[in-house]
């Protein structure tokens, strides 16, 4: 999985007018992303994001702003002169890597619950659970092509029968071409497997397992 790139930030922004002169006392307003510039969202003075700047942040006599830290969300920014005249506006300013990592846990838990036997994993599934009431034996979950996956796929098995995880076409799971077998569930020990797609698209690695 390739992480997205992020724009290199300027740790001390400096504002200039059209003649290249510093904008003394320039005002930087920050808002939540949406294009309406209606909901203020603060920038912060510290990396722990515990002390918010005033909004707007005010530049010094050289048009230079103090260090500003972003929350792991998108911002819309608007720069104005000290007299309140808009110099520029910019949408969707964020550190993409920071936002990605901040939401990774929620992303990995996104998926389908209590699926029936024969279920084929969707691109939107990052975690699925099998239907504890489905008595199909063996219970079967079909993987989508590894090349189509962005995140690992987690499978939590909850039925009293064995589970077979079947790779797509000629792909493999840890070298197994037919299927990967998971033991029947027995509360509170529900077998759970995390599968990582191989970079070459040939199948999946078993990244982690529990209760097998």
Question: Over the stretch 101-138, which tens digit does the pLDDT of each residue have?
Answer: 777 677 778 999 999 999 999 999 999 999 999 999 99
DSSP letters, 99-138, are HHHHTHHHHHT-EEEEEPTTEE--TT-SEEEE-TT---SS
Q: What is the mean pLDDT of the chain?
A: 90
Global model pTM greater than 0.85: no
Same domain, 87 and 137: no
Q: How far apart are CA 72 and CA 206, in angstroms?
A: 30
Residue 147, SS3?
Answer: helix
pLDDT tier at 1 (50, 70, 90 boundaries)? very low
Same domain, 158 and 194: yes
Same domain, 153 and 201: yes
Residue 146 sits in which domain range?
A: 104-210
Same domain, 199 and 160: yes
Give the whole-number percent of the chain exceeding pLDDT 90.
71
Report whether pLDDT(157) > 90. yes
CATH, residue 115: 2.60.120
Question: Which residues are CB-neighbours of 208 under 8 A, at least 6 positions away?
Answer: 193, 194
DSSP letters, 37-97, are --SB---BSSTTS-SBPPSSEE--TTSBPPP-B--SS-EEEEEE-TT--EEEEEEEE--HH
Examine residue 22 and state whether it is found in any structural domain, yes or no: no
CB 184 within 8 A of CB 212: no
Name the domain boundary from 102, 135, 167: 102
Examine residue 134 and state whether it is found in any structural domain, yes or no: yes
Question: Structurally, how many domains does the chain consist of?
Answer: 2
Q: What pLDDT was estimated at residue 187?
A: 79
Rounded to whole angstroms, the maximal C-alpha distance in the chain is 76
pLDDT in tens, 18-75: 899 999 999 999 999 998 999 999 999 988 889 999 999 999 999 999 999 988 888 9
């Amino acid at each position: 999985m390739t992480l997205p790139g992020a724009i290199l930030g300027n740790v001390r922004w400096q504002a200039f007018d059209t003649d290249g002169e510093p904008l003394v006392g320039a005002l930087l307003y920050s808002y939540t992303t949406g294009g309406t510039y209606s909901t203020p969202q603060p920038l912060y003075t510290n990396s722990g994001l515990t002390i918010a700047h005033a909004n707007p942040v005010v530049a010094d006599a050289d048009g230079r702003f103090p260090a500003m830290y972003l929350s792991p969300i998108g911002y819309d920014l608007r720069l104005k002169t000290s007299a309140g005249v808009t110099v520029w506006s910019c949408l969707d300013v964020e550190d993409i890597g920071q936002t990605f990592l901040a939401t990774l846990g929620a992303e990995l838990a996104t998926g389908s619950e209590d699926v029936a036997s024969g279920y084929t994993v969707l691109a939107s599934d990052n975690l699925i659970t099998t239907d504890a009431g489905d008595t199909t034996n063996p219970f079967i979950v079909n993987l989508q092509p590894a090349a189509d996956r962005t995140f690992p796929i987690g499978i939590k098995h909850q039925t009293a029968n064995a589970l077979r995880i079947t790779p797509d076409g000629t792909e493999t799971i840890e070298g197994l071409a037919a299927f990967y077998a998971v033991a029947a569930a027995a509360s509170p020990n529900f077998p759970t497997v995390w599968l990582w797609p191989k970079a070459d698209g040939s199948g999946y690695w078993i990244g982690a397992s529990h209760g097998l």
